């Protein structure tokens, strides 16, 4: 890697792209980039010294030594075409990240759920314990106010994205797999076995001196281990044979506590300032990774309690007059169930507002989505949020999903097509004791912010 290079990012404003751009800026690279609109992340990069253009033109790539793009970019983008014409090397975001992660002791977190939270926990603990890691995360760590940093230490902490297979560029020192589920199958020919084979390859790509850290309570993960050739550490709650086991579990209102045991030996108590059993699992993976990095259990326990979540991960937007508004990225049936379950621990009446994302995901998981809302007191489903260019699938609609939810898990489900419809419905009637939780990978968070702002003004 040559820090005298100028690196140009096409679509620099996304979480993943902006995180790599920020790290490269801090390492001393000249960074330029373009995106369709200015936003908070691009403003932060400009403040760090990046040159960012709004809109895409061929002229903007001239003089670049390297061009980086994301999966969302079309190959007919004018800047991509110009980079090809000028014979400038073009790398996918994951290939650029691989250059950073594979050079040092990479800690790569893969899995259908929990990647952002687990990587954020690891990064925060390492920061608090003065390990000075480099980290590149798909969501802002609430305590720190950023999603990326170029550290001087040995470790690079990053999410490993299975959705498009790009995690296979990584050869980490620690390869964490939180869980394996049938998602993003449109990128695997609709074949879950192909996705599972990719996870096996990811685990087998850990360095010779490295380790795979995996959840023993996930049946899909455990089924893959006979094909993994390197060292594996397991963790769990239900498993009797896992290397690390959590006991004495207390799931409270926006907090968790448990005892961590290693091969029958009590290490001590972990307390979390985030809710839900899923965060217990995330924290177990984080604790093990930090132990492997040479941090004492006592220091880890002292640091991890300071973690207050990542942006859009059970993020409290407002709490006024005993009304609580929370936003979460949950966009998969398992995540929805886990998020609603965590919300129930507050003792409030749960109004779940879900915006499905992608026709393909809704098609593949329609039945599972229909069974995910049983613990909510009320369910509102908006129209499907579809990225540009995705084709609608006949018969896959929010109205159909609501019909199935009513049949399979919650008779109180309704379809309100737009964000404006949801706000008009909820604003006048939410009352003390209610918890409104907006969920989805699209722009449903805007409803949560609008509700929270309205409550604060009220």
Integer Cα distance of 308 and 116 in angstroms: 13
Is 159 labeled as catalytic in the residue annotation? yes
Q: How far, in Å, CA of 20 to CA of 146, rounded?
A: 12
CA–CA distance, 421 with 49 (Å, rounded to integer): 41
Active-site pick, 116, 118, 134, 362: 116
Look at residues 330, 304, 56, 360 and name the one whose alpha carbon lies nearest to residue 184.
360
Q: Which of 429, 433, 427 is nearest to 456 (CA)?
A: 427
User: How many of the other CB atoms lie within 10 Å of CB of 250?
Assistant: 10
Identified catalytic residue from 79, 127, 140, 159? 159
> What beta strand segments (E) does 150-210 contain?
155-159, 174-177
Judge contact between 17 and 11, C-beta under 8 A. Answer: yes
Q: Which of 44, 105, 115, 419 is catalytic?
A: 115
DSSP single-letter state for residue 383: P
Neighbours of 189 (CB within 10 A): 9
Q: 3-class SS at 420?
A: helix
Contact between residue 174 and residue 289 where contact means Cβ atoms under 8 Å apart: yes
Distance of CA 369 to the CA centre of its chain: 19
Catalytic residues: 115-116, 159
């Amino acid at each position: 890697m040559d820090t005298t290079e100028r690196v140009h990012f096409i679509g620099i404003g996304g979480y993943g792209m902006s995180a790599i751009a920020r790290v490269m800026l801090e390492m001393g690279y000249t960074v330029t980039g373009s995106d369709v609109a200015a936003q908070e992340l691009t403003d932060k990069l400009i403040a760090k010294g990046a040159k960012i253009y709004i809109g895409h033109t061929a002229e903007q790539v001239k003089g670049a030594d390297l061009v980086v793009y994301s999966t969302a970019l079309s190959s007919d983008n004018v800047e991509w075409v110009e980079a090809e014409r000028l014979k400038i090397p073009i790398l996918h975001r994951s290939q650029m990240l691989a250059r950073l992660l594979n050079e040092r002791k990479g800690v790569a977190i893969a899995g259908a759920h929990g990647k952002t939270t687990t990587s954020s926990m690891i990064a925060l603990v390492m920061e608090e314990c003065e390990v000075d890691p480099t980290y590149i995360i798909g969501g802002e760590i609430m305590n720190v106010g950023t999603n990326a940093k170029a550290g001087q230490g040995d470790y690079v902490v990053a999410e490993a994205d299975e959705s498009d297979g790009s995690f296979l560029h990584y050869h980490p020192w620690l390869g964490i797999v939180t869980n394996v589920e049938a998602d993003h199958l449109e990128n695997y020919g609709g074949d879950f076995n192909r996705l599972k084979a990719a996870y096996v390859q990811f685990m087998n790509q850990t360095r010779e001196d490295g380790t795979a850290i995996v959840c023993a309570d996930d049946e899909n993960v455990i089924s893959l281990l006979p094909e993994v050739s390197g060292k594996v550490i397991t963790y769990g709650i239900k498993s009797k044979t896992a290397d690390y086991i959590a006991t004495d579990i207390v799931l409270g209102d926006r907090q968790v506590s448990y005892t961590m045991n290693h091969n029958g030996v009590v290490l001590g108590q972990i307390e979390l300032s985030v809710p839900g059993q899923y965060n217990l699992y995330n924290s177990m993976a984080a604790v093990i990774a930090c132990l492997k990095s040479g941090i004492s259990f006592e220091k880890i326990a002292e640091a991890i309690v300071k973690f207050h979540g990542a942006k859009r991960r059970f993020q409290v937007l407002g709490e006024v007059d005993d009304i609580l508004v929370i936003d979460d990225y949950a966009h998969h049936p398992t995540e929805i169930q886990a998020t609603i379950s965590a919300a129930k621990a507050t003792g409030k009446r749960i109004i779940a507002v879900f915006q499905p994302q992608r026709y393909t995901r809704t098609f593949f998981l329609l039945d599972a989505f229909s069974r995910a809302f049983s613990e909510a007191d009320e369910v509102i489903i908006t129209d499907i949020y579809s990225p540009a260019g995705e084709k609608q699938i006949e018969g896959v609609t929010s109205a159909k999903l609501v019909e199935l939810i009513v049949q399979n898990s919650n008779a109180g489900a309704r379809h309100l097509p737009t964000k404006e419809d949801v706000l008009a419905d909820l604003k006048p009637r939410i009352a003390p004791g209610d918890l409104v939780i907006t969920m989805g990978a699209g722009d449903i968070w805007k409803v949560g912010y609008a509700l929270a702002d309205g409550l604060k003004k009220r």
